[in-house]
A = this chain, B = another copy of it.
Amino acid sequence: MRPKIAVIQKIIVGSLLWFGVTMGPMAIASDVLPHWNESPSKAQIISFVTRVTDPASASFVPVSDRIAVFDNDGTLWSEQPLYVQLAFLIDRIKAQAPDHPEWQTTQPFKAALEGDLATLKHGGKESLLSLLAATHAGMTSDAFREMVCAWLATAKHPQTGLPYTAMVYQPMLSLLNYLRANGFRTYIVSGGGVEFMRAWAQDVYGIPPEQVIGTSLASEFVMRDGVPEVIRLPQVSFIDDRAGKPIAIDHHIGKRPVMAFGNSDGDLEMLQWSTAGSGPRFGLIVHHTDAVREVAYDRQSSIGRLDKALDMAQKKGWTVVDMKNDWATVFAPNKYTQPVLKDMFERRICTYRQGYHQSLG
C-alpha cells in the first residue's frame, strides 16, 4: 500500500524529530503542521485550508463560518487504557470512600474502589450515573472544575506515568493552532462531561469554555446564604454522543461546521452531518494504527470503537489519519512534564476557572 518513499521520509522526519526534541520545540516550528509527516493526510488538510481561506477561490469561506469541531477522547488525547474522566471518577470515589463505609460492599462503588473496570462496564450507564451523582453533583461548576484541576495536577497515566495533560497528541495541537491561525474557531464536541473538559481545555488546547460542548448535568438556581448560585444536580440532562453531537452543534453553535474531526463510531453522525452541508467540507478520522507509540485498535475495541465510520470514510472521501505513518510525533514532553514549571502551570490551570486569568506565563 504505502510507497517506499514514505519509509525514507519517516527516516528523515524521524531524524529531524530527534533534533527537534533535542533542540526544543522551536526547531521544527517553522513547518506548517509540525509533528506531521509529509503524508497525503497532511497534504489534504493544507490543500483544504488553503482553498477556503483564499478570497479568490470559489471555495472561499468567510471567517464567520469557519467552524471546526473536534471529538476529544481518542482524537485530541489518549483514551487508552481508559477514558481520563473515568480515572478521575474512580479516584474521586476513592477519595470520598472514608466518609462512605457502605461503599465497600455496595456496587458500583465497590467495583470503582477495586478498579474493577469489567464490573463497571457490565453495570452500564446505570452504574456510571450512580458514580457521577456521588462525585460530580451538589456543587457549582467552578467548585467542580477546582476538583478536576487539583486532580490533574497529581494524577498519572497508568502506563506512561505522565500527567494526562501530557497525553495529548502533538500533531493535533499543531492542527488546532494551524486552523486558528487561519481564522477557524475550534470547538470540542465530546461525549465527556462539559465541565470536566472546561477545567483544562483552555490551558491544554487553547479552547475557551464557551467552545466546549459535552455531556451535561441538569442544574438549578438557588440562593445559598443569600448568594445566588447555579448548582449541579445528580441528573444527566444531555448525552453528547453519536446522534447527540449534531443535535448539540445545531443547538449550541447554530451553524453546520466546515471541518469535523473524530476517531470512532461515536463521531459518525457529527462527521456525516458536518460534511453534508453545501460548499466545501472536510471530514477526518484519526485511525489508531500505532501499537508502539500508542495502541493499535479500531473495529474490535471496547473503547472508541471505529467500525461503521471507517467504512463511511472510504465512501465519503474523508481523510483517514494513519497514526503510525502520518504522525512524526505522537506524545512529547510538554510544560506539564517539566518539574521546574509544574507548580506554575498547576496554578495556571487552577486559577483559570476562578474568573480571571493570572498572568503567570
Interface residues of A (CB under 8 A from B): 61-62, 64-65, 141, 194-195, 198, 202, 208-210, 212, 216, 219-221, 227-230, 243, 246-247, 250-256, 269, 272-273, 276-279, 354-357
Contact = CB atoms under 8 A, between A and B. Distances in A.
Contacts of A65: 355-357
Contacts of A227: 276
Contact of A254 (B212, B243, B279): B212
Main secondary structure of the interface of A (DSSP, over half): mixed
As for how many copies of this chain the complex holds, the number is 2
A289 B252 CA distance: 35
A96 B206 CA distance: 48
18 contacts: A62-B356, A64-B202, A64-B357, A65-B356, A141-B254, A194-B254, A198-B254, A216-B251, A220-B247, A221-B243, A227-B276, A228-B269, A228-B273, A230-B247, A256-B355, A277-B355, A279-B355, A279-B356
Given A194-B251, A209-B255, 8 more contacts: A62-B357, A65-B355, A209-B254, A212-B254, A219-B247, A220-B243, A230-B246, A279-B356
B355 A209 contact: no
Nearest to A187: B210
B61 A356 contact: yes
Contacts of A256: 355
Nearest to A230: B250
A262 B198 CA distance: 28
A146 to B, nearest CB: 14
Nearest to A273: B228
Nearest to A276: B228
A344 B341 CA distance: 56
Contacts of A278: 354-355
